[in-house]
Structure formats: C-alpha cells, structure tokens
Amino acid sequence: MFNKIWRSKEQSNFSIEYTKEDILRQPVPEHVAIIMDGNGRWAKKRSLPRAAGHYEGMQVVRKITRFASELGIKVLTLYAFSTENWKRPKSEVEYLMKLPEQFLTTFLPELIAENVNVRVIGNSNQLPEYTRRAVEKAIQETKHNTGLILNFALNYGSRAEITYAVKEIAKRVQQGDLTAEQIDEEVVASCLMTKDLKDPDLLIRTSGEIRLSNFMLWQLAYTEFWFTDVLWPDFTEQHLLQAIAEFQRRGRRFGGV
C-alpha cells in the first residue's frame, strides 16, 4: 500500500502525509503504547519553565486520546510518570502529581461522553491523596464504558511490576496453590498489572531517545517500535498516522517464518 519509508523529523515536514481514510484501509494496532518524552526540552527551547512543557504535553494527551478513539484503537497506554521520576526536582514532581487531577477533572466529562474507559497501572500507594482521589474518581465513573481503554502508567516501573509478580507466584507456591512445574508465561502474565489487557502491538517514543526506560519490559517482547525526534508537545495526529502506517508495512511473524 505504501511505497515510501517515512523518517520523522523534529519539525512537522512530512515526506508523505496520510489521512485517516488511508490508515483505515488496513487493520490498525489494537493496543498502542506511548512513552511521552520531551516536555522539558520543549520548554527549554522556548525559555519556559519545565512545567509549561508538561502542561502542553497534557493538551496533547487529550488530542491524541480523542484521535485514537476515532481510529478504533482499543487500548492506549501512556507512560505518564515512572518510578524513576521521583528523582526529579521536588517542585517538578509536585507539579507532575497535580497534572492527573487537573487533566481528569477537566477532561472527565468528555471521556464519559466518548465512552472511554480509564485505567491506571503502577503503585498508587506513593501518590499524593489528591492524585489518587482524581484517578479513582475517573476509574469509577468510566468503568462501564466500552470504548477506548485509556491506560495511564502512573508511578510505574516494569522491574517493580515483574518483581511483584515473582513474589505473588512464590506466595502461591508456598500456599500450595501452584507448583513450580505449573509456572509458565501465562501464569507470569496473570500476575502483571496488565493481566486484563492485550500486549501492545505498537510502541511509540518521542524526543529522539531510543530506549524503553523500564517500560513494559515483559509486554513489549513482540511489539513493533517506532521512534521519532518530535518532542511530545509537538506530537500531532499526523505523527500517529505515520507511526501506524509504518506498523502496517511491517510483517509480524512472532518468531515464525
């Protein structure tokens, strides 16, 4: 269908542009995961505080969520705050912790109207009470929605997730509910935070970094990766179409021929 390889640029100068109709001629990925990177650099380039970049990034989340729903994507997982992000300056962490409350408070009526189901993976125990309260409210008020699953990875780290899964399996063995011989990939997957979700088909990372940064290490085993130099606040619907177009060109054999 497509005969040109598109290489992303920091500016929105596409070598080839796609429409929603172009993309919908072929199956779209069911589960798209995004490492939203580059908010701070976006702000620095404009001599703005880093908080300004995070605010702009939040607006992009709203736009991309809406568009993903229009495309028929079933799950959109967004890496919002990692377990390593606590190392950032206190003022920046405090601002980042307020963003879910701000985003979900203003966006929740639209999420409900658009039939979006909000979910969260990560350790919520360390989150401030106001953040937990906003997240729990969004989960509760959208739990019966049957459209796009908007899954935030909040205070999430894949190694911590896998460590928890190992402990849970060890507990089951200790209690006699499971034998060592019964432990297989399905058992491990059933103990992960994403146990009710299909593994991602497509991973997008913005800002030019080419690494996973402790994100869904188990789940991304056979995921297609798409990296772009575009900073997250500059990410547009066209960038998402470009990523999906590249995904549609690839042959996914899962180790077969």
φ and ψ of 178, to 5 deg: -155, 145
93-100: list long-range contacts, CB under 8 Å, 24+ apart. 95/51, 95/54, 96/54, 97/127, 97/128, 97/130, 97/131, 98/130, 98/131, 99/54, 99/55, 99/58, 100/131, 100/134, 100/135, 100/152, 100/154
Is 179 a member of any domain? no
Q: How confident is the model at residue 253 (pLDDT cuts 50, 70, 90)?
A: low
Supply the pLDDT for residue 84: 95
Higher pLDDT, 172 or 2: 172
Residue 4 near residue 174, CB atoms below 8 Å:
no
Q: How confident is the model at residue 4 (pLDDT cuts 50, 70, 90)?
A: very low
Mean pLDDT of the chain: 92
184 is catalytic: no
pLDDT(5) > 50: no
Residue-number span of the structural domain to which 80 is assigned: 25-157+199-249
Which of 3, 22, 85, 177 is labelled catalytic?
Answer: 85
Supply the pLDDT for residue 252: 66
Burial class (CB in 10 A: 0-12, 13-18, 19+), 29: buried
pLDDT(256) > 80: no
Is 111 a member of any domain? yes
3 is catalytic: no
Q: Beta-carbon neighbour count of residue 207 at 10 Å?
A: 22
pTM of the model: 0.92
Is 71 a member of any domain? yes
Is 167 a member of any domain? no
Is 9 a member of any domain? no
Is 226 a member of any domain? yes
Is 113 a member of any domain? yes
pLDDT tens digits, 27-60: 999 999 999 999 999 999 999 999 999 999 999 9
Which of 13, 22, 37, 184 is labelled catalytic?
Answer: 37
Is 227 a member of any domain? yes
Total number of domains in the chain: 1
Supply the pLDDT for residue 14: 61
User: The domain that contains 74 carries what CATH number?
Assistant: 3.40.1180.10
